[in-house]
Chains A and B, each alone.
Chain A
Amino acid sequence: MKPSDKDKYKSYTRRATLLSGGMLLLSSALIGRMYYLQVVSRSQYELLADRNRISMRLLAPTRGEIIDRFGRPVATSTTDYRVNVIPEETEELQQTLKSLSKYIPITEGDNTRIVKAASKQRSFLPISVANNLDWETFSKVNVNMPDLPGIQPDVGTSRYYPEKELAAHLIGYVGSVSEEELTGDPLLELPEFKIGKNGIEKILDNKLRGSAGNSRLEVNVLGRVIRELSRQDSISGDTARLTIDLEIQKFAANRVRDESAAVVVMDVHNGEILGLASTPSFDPNDFNNGISQKKWDALRNDIRKPLINKAVSGQYSPGSTFKMIVALAGLEAGIIKATDTKFCNSRYRIGNRIAHCWNKNGHGHINVIQAISQSCDVYFYDLALEVGIDRIHDMAARLGIGNRFDIGIMSEAKGINPNGEWKFNTQGVRWQGGDTANVGIGQGYVSTTPLQLAVMTSRLVNGGKMITPKILLDDTADYPIPDDVGISPENLRIVLQGMNDVYNHPRGTAFPYRSRNKDYKFGGKTGTTQVTRISMAERQDGVIKNEEKEWIGRDHALFVGYGPIENPKYAVSVLVEHGGGGSSVASPIAKDVLEYLMKMDATENKGQSV
Chain B
Amino acid sequence: MSPATRYQTGSEIPDVPAPPVTHETLRAYALASGDGNTIHLDDSAARAAGLPGVIAHGMLVAAWVSDRAAQTAQEINDEAVAAGKTNYVIASFSTRFKAMTFPGEAIQVGGRVKSLNDQECVLEISARSLGGEVKCAGVFRLRAAT
Are A and B interaction partners? no
Residues of B whose CB lies within 8 Å of any CB of A are: none
